[in-house]
């Protein structure tokens, strides 16, 4: 297997969008950042050099990093941040995944501009489980802020309210011509009639799930989160922050110009809602007279929860001889984790959240607090007092999760750094239950270190007697990020076969910053495996 080495210099770079000059954090001056191409089975080395004035860490989203949590990247979980002027060499092991993933900053909200695609080809000699596309096209959904993203972040934490929204969504770094002062840069995909295009789509947006569609062209979904899916055709896709979806697009329509477009799916109207639409253009090559304006795709309405969950519910693993499913069936641990947006009282009701409270969020009513030494180092070196190991298996209070207007005592979470320790090879079933404490929301939950099988989901309260009867143990999709529907539930299963310290959190960054996070520590099953040793120089705390 190849062992390539890359240098990623994090730096502040001038960029202009919407006629607004700004300085943003980039890797190697590129925005979106550099694309990495690897084959399944490769290991790469990335020398991260921090030439910016901010602390930084980089994460390889969806890469399981077997026995190698040291290079996973979330700040205060597996490492301390790389300080300005410092550097850190990360080793990334692509052992299980195949398809599309991405890398992004995992410190504050730096991932808003510090992100890029990872394309993972099959091992040499293997091919895709679908006819080889003629052309592959990365599509990154991102955002432009006229202000500095650190100011947006700081202000929201200081006031305790919802963060300001971005000024535009973008496709491949360009807002598209529906935004003022943006048309010259609109991303254009020139296609030849008759060819097949593989779009590798990544949602790198900070706070929103998106709908995406292409006018007059249906999309054939063939993969998600670097796992192949049974092909199915849809007029639109729903894609969560963190998630990747691979689709085939057949250039089989009348030669013309067509819009591709993406906009927010927002189940509730809140301060982070943005009704604007980002566009790019598909242009057929050849001699023809184009329509005066390109046709526009039908995107579901912004709050169409059925459109959102129906799409996600169609994802299925291939489950064939070459891509068998391996869903754990002997479950050793059952967990039930509630996901809540809560409120903290503020002195004199002086904060910008609802009724003068400070917005907060929690898992099983614990709002995660980052420690000041990373949990991996504390665990490895047995440093006491950094984290507790009493994360509850179930919420402390049982109630009607999706009812509204519950008493305030349900809403005030405990702030703590509690983790759950798992024995090596234990088999986990975890039900995520969204609550309606302050407000319901869809929560794209992401687990580091593993992909998990999504065996069931539904709207409303989980019914422990009935719902498990409908679990799909035959061809459930294998994901690293799954949107738990608003006031609904989702059940995942995975085997704790990857020793290390692994973060799990909502991939809406405001919810992450408010505490919708937790950590699994998976014990070492084989002490002789050297991978668990830290590399020679971890960034100091």
Please report, as ranges, the residues that interact with ligand C2O according to CB under 6 A: 59, 61, 74, 104, 106, 242, 446, 448, 503, 505, 507
CB nearer to ligand C2O: pick between 243 and 305: 243
Question: Biggest alpha carbon distance in the chain?
Answer: 72
Minimum CB separation from Cu ion for residue 161, in Å? 16
CB of 358 or CB of 448, closer to ligand C2O = 448
Q: Is the dihedral of CA 200, 324, 431, 369 positive or negative?
A: negative
Q: How far is the CB of 226 from ligand C2O (least distance, A)?
A: 13
Rounded-to-integer distance, Cα 440 and Cα 269, Å? 11
User: What is the C-alpha to C-alpha distance for residues 4 and 141, in angstroms, rounded to an integer?
Assistant: 27
Residue with smaller CB distance to Cu ion, 263 or 511: 511
Which of Cu ion, ligand C2O, none does residue 438 bind to, with CB < 5 to 8 Å depending on kind?
A: none
511 is a contact residue toward Cu ion (CB under 5 A): yes
Shortest separation between residue 443's beta carbon and Cu ion, angstroms: 3
Which residue, judged by CB position, is nearest to ligand C2O in the bound state? 61
Residue 60 CB, nearest approach to ligand C2O (Å): 9
Q: Which of 508, 519, 521, 538 binds Cu ion (CB under 5 A)?
A: 508
In the complex with Cu ion, the residue whose CB is nearer, 443 or 448, is: 443
242 binds, among ligand C2O, Cu ion, none (CB under 5 to 8 A by kind): ligand C2O
Site of tokens 């819009």: 259
Bridge partners, residue 366, by sequence: 363, 414
SS3 string, 299-318, reads CCCCCCHHHHHHHHCCCCEC
List strand residue ranges (DSSP E) for 28-125, in order.
Answer: 36-39, 43-50, 58-61, 87-93, 99-105, 115-121
* Partner whose footprint covers residue 511, from ligand C2O, Cu ion, none (CB < 5 to 8 Å by kind): Cu ion
505 binds, among ligand C2O, Cu ion, none (CB under 5 to 8 A by kind): ligand C2O
Nearer to ligand C2O, 32 or 242 (CB): 242
- Rounded to a whole number of angstroms, the minimum distance from the CB of residue 341 to Cu ion is 7
Using CB under 5 A as the binding rule, whether residue 507 contacts Cu ion is answered as no
> In angstroms, what is the minimal distance from the CB of 276 to Cu ion?
21
- Say if residues 447 and 416 touch (Cβ distance below 8 Å): no
* Partner from Cu ion, ligand C2O, none binding residue 61, C-beta < 5-8 Å depending on class: ligand C2O
CB nearer to ligand C2O: give 242 or 499: 242
333 token code pair:
């641990």
Count of Cβ atoms closer than 10 Å to residue 400 Cβ? 11
> Measured from the CB atom, is 340 or 451 closer to Cu ion?
340
In the list Cu ion, ligand C2O, none, the entry touching 17 (Cβ below 5 to 8 angstroms by class) is none
Could you give the CA distance from residue 513 to residue 525 in angstroms, rounded to a whole number?
32
Q: Write down the least CB distance from residue 240 to ligand C2O, Å.
A: 10
508 touches which of ligand C2O, Cu ion, none (CB within 5 to 8 A by kind)?
Cu ion
> SS3 sequence, 292-359?
CCCECCCCCCCCCHHHHHHHHCCCCECCECCECCCCCCCCCEEEEEEEEEEEECCHHHCCCCHHHCEE
Q: Which stretch binds Cu ion (CB under 5 A): 42-50, 99-107, 306-314, 502-510?
A: 502-510
Choose from Cu ion, ligand C2O, none: what does 510 bind? Cβ within 5-8 Å by kind: none
151: number of Cβ within 10 Å: 11
Distance CA 268, CA 263 (A): 15
Least Å distance, CB 290 to ligand C2O, is 39
Partner that binds at residue 443, options Cu ion, ligand C2O, none, CB closer than 5 to 8 Å by kind = Cu ion
Q: Which two tokens stand for residue 424?
A: 């090596």
Strand partners, 112: none
Q: Which residue has the tokens 């057929």?
A: 284
Using the minimum distance from each CB to ligand C2O, give the nearer residue, 59 or 217: 59
Residue 74 CB, nearest approach to ligand C2O (Å) = 5
**75 or 177, CB closer to ligand C2O?**
75
Contact assessment for residue 246 and residue 327, using Cβ atoms and an 8 Å cutoff: no
Note every long-range contact of 290-296, with CB atoms under 8 Å and residues 24 or more positions apart, other chains counting.
Answer: 290/256, 290/257, 291/256, 291/257, 294/215, 294/256, 294/257, 294/258, 294/259, 295/215, 295/216, 295/256, 295/258, 295/259, 296/215, 296/259, 296/261
Which residue is listed with tokens 């979330």? 74
Q: How far is the CB of 212 from Cu ion (least distance, A)?
A: 20
Q: Which is nearer to ligand C2O, 78 or 156 (CB)?
A: 78
User: Using CB under 5 A, which of 140, 439, 506, 522 touches Cu ion?
Assistant: 506
Q: Which stretch binds Cu ion (CB under 5 A): 412-420, 424-432, 438-446, 471-479?
A: 438-446
d(CA 105, CA 82): 11
Question: Is 5 strand, coil or helix?
Answer: strand
446 binds, among ligand C2O, Cu ion, none (CB under 5 to 8 A by kind): ligand C2O
Q: What is the residue whose two structure tokens read 């919407």?
A: 18
Q: Which is nearer to Cu ion, 242 or 477 (CB)?
A: 242
Which CB, 280 or 506, lies closer to Cu ion? 506
Give the CB-side neighbour count of residue 27, counting CA atoms within 13 A: 26
CB closer to Cu ion, 219 vs 359: 359
| Residue 506 near which of ligand C2O, Cu ion, none (CB within 5-8 Å, type-dependent) | Cu ion
Instruction: Give the N- to C-terminal CA distance of the chain in Å, as an integer.
Output: 34
By CB under 5 A, residue 170 contacts Cu ion: no
**The only residue of 443, 446, 448, 493 in contact with Cu ion, by rule CB under 5 A:** 443
Rounded to whole angstroms, the Cα distance separating 391 from 366 reads: 8
Binding site for Cu ion (CB under 5 A): 443, 506, 508, 511
């Amino acid at each position: 297997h190849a062992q390539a080495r890359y240098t990623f210099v994090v730096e502040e770079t001038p960029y202009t969008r919407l006629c607004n000059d700004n300085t943003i954090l980039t890797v190697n001056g590129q925005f979106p950042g550099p694309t990495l191409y690897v084959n399944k089975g490769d290991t790469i080395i990335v020398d991260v050099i921090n030439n910016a004035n901010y602390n930084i860490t980089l994460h390889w989203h969806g890469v399981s990093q077997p026995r190698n949590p040291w290079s996973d990247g979330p700040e205060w979980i597996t490492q301390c941040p790389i300080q300005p002027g410092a550097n850190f060499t990360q080793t990334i092991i692509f052992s299980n995944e195949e398809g599309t993933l991405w890398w992004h900053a995992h410190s504050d909200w730096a991932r808003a501009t510090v992100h890029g695609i990872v394309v993972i080809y099959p091992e040499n000699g293997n091919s895709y489980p679908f006819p080889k596309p003629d052309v592959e096209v990365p599509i990154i959904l991102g955002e432009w802020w006229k202000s500095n993203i650190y100011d947006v972040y700081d202000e929201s934490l200081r006031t305790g309210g919802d963060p300001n929204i971005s000024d535009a969504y973008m496709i491949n770094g360009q807002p598209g011509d529906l935004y003022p002062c943006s048309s010259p840069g609109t991303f254009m995909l020139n296609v030849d009639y008759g060819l097949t295009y593989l779009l590798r789509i990544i949602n790198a947006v900070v706070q929103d799930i998106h709908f995406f569609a292409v006018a007059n062209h249906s999309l054939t979904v063939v993969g998600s989160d670097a796992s192949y899916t049974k092909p199915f055709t849809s007029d639109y896709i729903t894609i969560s922050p963190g998630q990747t979806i691979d689709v085939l697009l057949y250039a089989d329509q009348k030669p013309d110009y067509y819009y591709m477009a993406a906009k927010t799916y927002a189940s509730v109207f809140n301060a982070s809602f943005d009704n604007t639409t980002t566009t790019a253009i598909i242009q057929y090559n050849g001699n023809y007279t184009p329509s005066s304006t390109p046709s526009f795709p039908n995107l579901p309405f912004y709050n169409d929860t059925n459109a959102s969950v129906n799409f996600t519910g169609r994802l299925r693993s291939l489950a064939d001889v070459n891509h068998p499913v391996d869903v754990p069936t002997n479950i050793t641990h059952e967990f039930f984790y509630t996901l809540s947006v809560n409120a903290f009282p503020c002195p004199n009701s002086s904060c910008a959240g609802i009724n003068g409270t400070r917005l907060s969020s929690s898992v099983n009513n614990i709002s995660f607090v980052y420690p000041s030494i990373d949990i991996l180092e504390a665990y490895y070196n047995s440093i006491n007092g950094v984290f507790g190991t009493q994360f509850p298996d179930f919420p402390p209070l049982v109630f009607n999760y999706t009812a509204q207007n519950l008493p305030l005592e349900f809403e005030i979470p405990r702030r703590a750094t509690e983790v759950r320790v798992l024995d090596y090879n234990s088999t986990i079933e975890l039900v995520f239950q969204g609550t309606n404490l302050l407000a319901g929301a869809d929560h794209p939950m992401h687990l580091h270190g593993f992909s998990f099988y999504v065996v069931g989901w539904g709207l409303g309260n989980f019914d422990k007697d009935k719902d498990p009867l409908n679990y799909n143990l035959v061809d459930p999709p294998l994901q690293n990020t799954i949107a738990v529907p608003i006031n609904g539930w989702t059940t995942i299963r995975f085997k704790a076969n990857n020793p290390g310290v692994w973060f799990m959190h909502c991939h809406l960054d405001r919810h992450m910053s408010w505490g919708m996070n937790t950590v699994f520590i998976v014990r070492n099953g084989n002490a002789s495996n050297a991978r668990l040793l830290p590399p020679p120089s971890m960034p100091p705390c």
